[in-house]
Amino acid sequence: MNTLRAKIAVLLVVAIVSVVGVLTVVLFYLLGPPKHVHSLSPVAEQVETLVAIVEEGKTDRLKLVPQPSPGHVYAGFTQRLRDSLAARGITLPVTISRDGRGAPLVVSIPIDDKGWLLLPITDLPPQGVPWGVLFRWLALITLGATAIAVFVANRMVRPLVLLEDAVESVGADAMLLPVLPERGPAEVRATARALNSLSARLKSAVESRMRLVAAAGHDLRTPITRMRLRAEFVEDQEERALWLSDLDELERIADSAILLVREESGKAPLELIRLDELVDSIGSELREQNLDVVNTAAEPVTVRASRLTLNRALRNLMINAATHGVRARVSVDGANGAMARIVIEDEGPGIAPELIGQVFEPFFRADPARRQNIPGAGLGLTIAREIIQRAGGTIAIVNRPNGGLTQVVELPRVAAAA
C-alpha cells in the first residue's frame, strides 16, 4: 500500500466509486419512485369503482370467491390502502397479499356477505432508497473501477519502474548508473536526463580522483628514492634508522594508495573458489611468517569472486588480527543460508566504541601512537571492504565482550560443481 502504484490505484477507485455513489443516491432521491400514498391512489380508485358497481347491483359479471386471496399479507401496504379508502369515505377491511414468490399482488375486497372480490395489481415501487440494491451496484462499480485503476496505475508508473530497475541494477562492483532511456512522460524524461547528467559528472569526478591519487602515489616514488639515497649518508646510525623507517612508511602509503585505485577501478575475472581452502592456505602462509594465526573450523563452502583480490582482502584482515590483536582465530561457516561467513577473532585491546564506525576510512588508526611499532599505511581495511563489496558481500567489525575484535565477512555462496 506504500507504493506509488497502489496509491494511484486506490485514489482512482475511491474517486470513481465516490462520484458514482453520490450521484446514484442523489438520483434516487430526485428521480426515485413515488411515495406509497401516491402509488396506492390508483388502486384505491379501482377499489372505489368496484364498490360503486357492487352497490348498483351489477355483480353478474364480477367473480366472487368465498375466501380472500391466500399468501403473505403485507400489513403496511394494507393499512395505507385502507387509509386511502377512508379518505374517500369508504371503510372496508381490504387486504393486500401475495401467494408465493413471483406471484402478483392481489387486493382482496369483501363484498358484504356475498364473498370476496380479488383485484390483481402490479408490484408497488419500493419506498425510499433501496440500500441493498445500491450496495450491490456500488460493489460492481468498485470491482470494475479497481480493474481499470490497476491497469491505469501500472501504465502510469511503468516509466518510474524502468528508472527504479536501472538504479537497482548498479551492483557492488559498479560505481555509476547505466545510461537511462529518455522516454515516457515529460517528467520522466526530465528525471532520466538529470540522472544521466549526474552519472556523467560523477564518472568524470571519480576518474579525476583516481588519476590524482594514482599520480600522487606514483610521483612520490622518485623523491622517496632520492631521500633514501641521502639517508644512507647520514653518519649517525640511530638517526639514519629513523629516516629509513619514515621513508619505508611513506613508500607503503604510496603503494597502498596505488593499490586502492586499482581495486576501485579494476575488474578482475570471477571464478569459483573453495573458501575454506583459501582461508586455510592464507593461514599457513602467515604462520610461516611467524604470525599467530589459528584456523579453528572450516566447513566446505564455495563462493564466486576474484581469487587474487579476495586473497588480498582476507590476508589483510587476518594480518590485522594477528598484529594489532596479538592472535587471530579464523573460522569458516557455510550453514548461514545463502551466505558463507568468515569470522576472524583476535585478543587485542579492541577499538573505542566512538571510533568503531571509522575503521574502514582510509588511513584510519585506532591508536596513532602505535604507527611506528606496527607497519602499515592504514588502507588495509579500506581495500578489504572494497574487494568484499565488489564480490557482493559485506564486512562488519565489532568489539568482543571480553576484549578484542570480531571481523565478520559474508559472501554469497554458490552450489559446488558436481
- Residues 109 and 64 reside in one and the same domain: yes
Q: Which three cell numbers stand for residue 69?
A: 386471496
Give the whole-angstrom CA distance, residue 404 versus residue 326: 9
Instruction: Please determine, for residue 372, whether its predicted confidence score (pLDDT) is greater than 80.
Output: no
* Domain CATH code at residue 355: 3.30.565.10
Sign of CA dihedral 300, 306, 311, 313: negative
CB 47 within 8 Å of CB 94? yes
What pLDDT is recorded for position 331? 92
pLDDT band at 378 (very low <50, low <70, confident <90, very high): low
Grid cell digits, residue 87: 379518505
44 exposure class (CB count in 10 Å sphere: 0-12, 13-18, 19+): buried
CATH number at residue 235: 1.10.287.130
Sequence-distant (6+) residues with CB within 8 A of 147 are none
332 vs 315: CA distance, rounded Å: 14
Q: Which grid cell is 48? A: 372505489
Q: Is the pLDDT of residue 343 over 90?
A: yes
C-beta of residue 411 within 8 angstroms of C-beta of residue 336: no
According to the model, what pLDDT value does residue 410 have?
92
| Overall size of the chain counted in residues | 418
Mean pLDDT value across residues 154-166 = 71
Q: Cell match 559498479: residue?
A: 174
* 162 and 15 within one domain: yes
pTM given for the model: 0.48
Indicate whether 157 and 21 sit together in one domain.
yes
Looking at residue 391, what DSSP letter applies?
T
CA quadruple 339, 270, 217, 208: dihedral sign: negative
- Considering 110, 137, 168, which residue would you say is the last residue of a domain? 168
Q: Please, which residues bridge with residue 343 across strands? A: 331, 408
Question: What is the rounded distance in angstroms from the CA atom of residue 289 to the CA atom of residue 356?
Answer: 29
Distances (CA, A) of 180 to 99, 126, 161, 189, 204: 73, 61, 12, 9, 17
Say if strands 394-399 and 95-98 run parallel, antiparallel, or are unpaired: unpaired
Both 10 and 159 in one domain: the answer is yes
- Cell digits of residue 130: 433501496
Q: Percentage of the chain surpassing pLDDT 90?
A: 9
Q: Is 177 left (phi over 0), alpha (psi -120 to 50) or beta?
A: beta
Is residue 335 located within the same domain as residue 213?
A: no
Q: Are residues 218 and 187 in the same domain?
A: yes
Residues 262, 272 within the same domain: no
- Largest pairwise CA distance in the chain: 154
Question: To 5 degrees, how large is the angle CA 220–CA 221–CA 222?
Answer: 95
For residue 221, give the H/E element and its range.
helix 186-231
**Averaged pLDDT of the chain:** 78
Q: How many domains does the structure of the chain reveal?
A: 4
DSSP string, 110-157: EETTTEEEEEEEPPPPPPS--HHHHHHHHHHHHHHHHHHHHHHHHHHH
Q: Scan for cell 401496504, then name that residue.
A: 77
pLDDT of amino acid 411: 92
Q: Who's near 386: CB < 8 A, 6+ residues apart?
A: 260, 263, 264
Indicate the pairing of strand 339-346 with strand 328-336.
antiparallel
Contacts of residue 186, Cβ cutoff 8 Å, sequence gap at least 6: none
Question: Is pLDDT of 262 > 70?
Answer: no
- 295 backbone φψ class: left, alpha, beta (φ>0; ψ -120 to 50): beta
pLDDT over 70 at 213, yes or no = no
Query: Are 22 and 137 found together in one domain?
Result: yes
- Coil vs helix vs strand at 92: coil
Same domain, 322 and 393: yes
139 and 85 inside one domain: no
pLDDT at residue 82 tops 60: yes
Q: Are residues 276 and 350 in the same domain?
A: yes
Rounded average pLDDT over 102-118: 85
**Would you place residue 330 in the very low, low, confident or very high pLDDT band (cuts 50, 70, 90)?**
very high
Structural element, H or E, at residue 223: helix 186-231
Shared domain for 80 and 222, answered yes or no, is no
Q: Which domain, by its residues, includes 315?
A: 268-414
